[in-house]
A = this chain, B = another copy of it.
């Protein structure tokens, strides 16, 4: 089982703790990005996963590659090309003060990569599962073309395609609306992951679900996901993350899934002292891909994905530094802490 994820990996410059920008003249400097985060999750669970991306050829990008190796991600399919290493600045919030992200990712190597710059045969060698998100096609016209190519190439090879719809309103600047592109891309997708807003903005389907209520409107979610499954016949299942955002420090977290056979609802976690919620959706995707490949039951897969991404909220950085064992302990236990000694 070999997994390939395709997308941008950026330098993440975060203020320490919950400091405001330049409260201290320092940034925590790590790396992150939706599909890279998924790859790291999968490597942490012991899976064979490669990241397909384009990076510039300089020592900072070299460090990025090394960091992926640290986690055991296969970096042999990473290309080097013109353009820069994308950056995002993160000012972490707390309580009523939300986190702020400032993107500086224009003209990144992946955004300026030409449509014919990827040798799909080499990229997909031995690959059984391909993962992409709605971020890659939002970066530039050429990145959009590469994205559409990628899913088609994967689909044609019989590779399972998963996609995190992942809508970012500050991207999509090159002239296309998300829904124009994502609805096409979805035709090649087998497994979709999304939240309420993603479905609405990426697929153009509106609903009146309010996740903030803290009570899952089971019927509404079933109806919405049924609608998606109806529209995209290739789609085998769709999973939805449900975040109740009480404050920057306190969220509820759960998920649901529709696999045409059944509609599943996960356990719900109350997370009162959030350490870092960036990358939680990606860690859900990583957990789901792992779960779908390790459990017979789709509910078990969903529960794994939700538990894994619940834990992500307690880990600083985009990458979900937990093992499958850590997730299983949460699944088996009650989420309380007995110091493990």
Give me the interface of A with B, judged by CB distance under 8 Å. 13, 17-30, 58-60, 62-63, 66-67, 69-72, 84-85, 87-89, 91, 93-104, 106-107, 168, 170, 212, 245-251, 269, 271-275, 277-278, 307, 310-311, 313-317, 321-322, 326, 329-330, 334-341
- Cα-based distance from A13 to B304 in the complex (angstroms): 31
Say whether A59 contacts B26, CB under 8 Å.
no
- Do A337 and B248 contact each other (CB < 8 Å), given the known contacts A19-B316, A95-B313, A107-B107? yes
Min CB distance A17 to B, Å, is 8
Chain B residues closer than 8 Å to A28, beta-carbon distance: 25-26
- Do A24 and B25 contact each other (CB < 8 Å), given the known contacts A70-B67, A336-B247? yes
Say whether A58 contacts B102, CB under 8 Å.
yes
Chain B residues closer than 8 Å to A101, beta-carbon distance: 339-341
A29 in complex: contacting residue of B27, B168, B246, CB < 8 Å: B27
| CB-CB nearest 6 A-B residue pairs | A101-B341, A248-B337, A245-B336, A22-B63, A97-B314, A70-B70
List 11 A–B pairs whose Cβ atoms lie within 8 Å, in order of A's numbering. A20-B315, A22-B63, A59-B91, A70-B70, A93-B314, A95-B313, A98-B338, A101-B340, A247-B272, A248-B314, A277-B337
Say whether A314 contacts B275, CB under 8 Å.
no
Say whether A26 contacts B23, CB under 8 Å.
no
If A20-B322, A21-B62 are given as contacts, then 18 extra A-B residue pairs at C-beta distance below 8 Å, sorted by A number, are A18-B314, A24-B25, A66-B71, A70-B70, A95-B271, A95-B274, A95-B310, A96-B311, A99-B337, A99-B339, A99-B340, A101-B339, A170-B341, A212-B336, A245-B337, A245-B338, A246-B336, A250-B272
Min CB distance A191 to B, Å, is 25
